[in-house]
Amino acid sequence: MISFLHDLRPMRALLLMVVVISIIFKPAPGTEVVYEGLTVFNTLLLPVFAPILLMLLFLDSLIAKLWSTQTEGSEHKRYKMILRIDLAMSFIFIVVWFSYFQALAG
């Protein structure tokens, strides 16, 4: 586990941790926005940051792909692993949040 986190590096691990938190605490579609208390976190902040987090995942996967083409050996494998993790998390993120944003549109 320590080796895996070392391979991800702190900023990427933090990004993935925030994405997982966003997936876990996603509000139900049609939830009213609350402007006070702790429920501001999942009724206001998470829906605002969800598209930003998705773009950060896509940007990180693009950077990992670029770096994987310029490296060899273990670094190449590390960037390929990062690319797979980012794209898998992006797919899961889209699937989980799709119903929420679809309810906003309709």
Among residues 75, 23, 30, 88, the alpha carbon closest in space to that of 49 is found at 23
**pLDDT for position 43:** 93
pLDDT at position 81 over 90: yes
Domain segments of the chain as ranges: 2-105
**pLDDT for position 6:** 80
The C-alpha atoms of residue 31 and residue 44 are separated, in whole angstroms, by 10
The C-alpha atoms of residue 86 and residue 101 are separated, in whole angstroms, by 21
14-51 pLDDT, tens digit each: 999 999 999 999 999 988 999 999 999 999 999 999 99
